[in-house]
Amino acid sequence: IILSIFFETSRLVFPPVAAFIILSIFFETSRLVFPPVAAFIILSIFFVAFRLVLPLSTTHAVLAGGLLGYILYDLTHYYLHHGVPRRGSYFHRLKSYHVRHHFINHNAGFGISSKLWDLPFGTAL
């Protein structure tokens, strides 16, 4: 119901709202976690797209898994910036890797929660 209300009422105001969100929220450099309003909009788009091709229960399962994965990723990213992991731990190595991404080469080392995707894409530090 909430999604249908959102899509019914947003047809008239979506372009100005989208421009505001993209310009003022996505490019704010001090933000470490994704803004909830923007996340809701993107999740709504994915919901509609998946619902067009998947049964409702499968759509819910896929979105729940994706949302859980993203929340864990976001928590990890926040912890790497603000946490103090024990020296020698996995998170300590990950934080060192992430610091190199920010201060040595911001064009490489994109793996926040893992180096897994940096290896096949050739972006490992």
Along the 125 residues of the chain, how does pLDDT read in single tens digits?
Answer: 444 444 444 444 445 555 555 545 555 555 667 777 788 888 899 999 999 999 999 999 999 998 898 888 888 888 888 889 999 999 999 999 888 888 888 888 888 878 888 888 888 88
Residue the block writes with tokens 């399962």:
61
pTM of the model: 0.64
pLDDT of residue 116: 85
Closest CA to 10 of 47, 36, 34, 45: 45
**Are residues 123 and 108 in contact, defined by beta-carbon separation less than 8 angstroms?**
yes
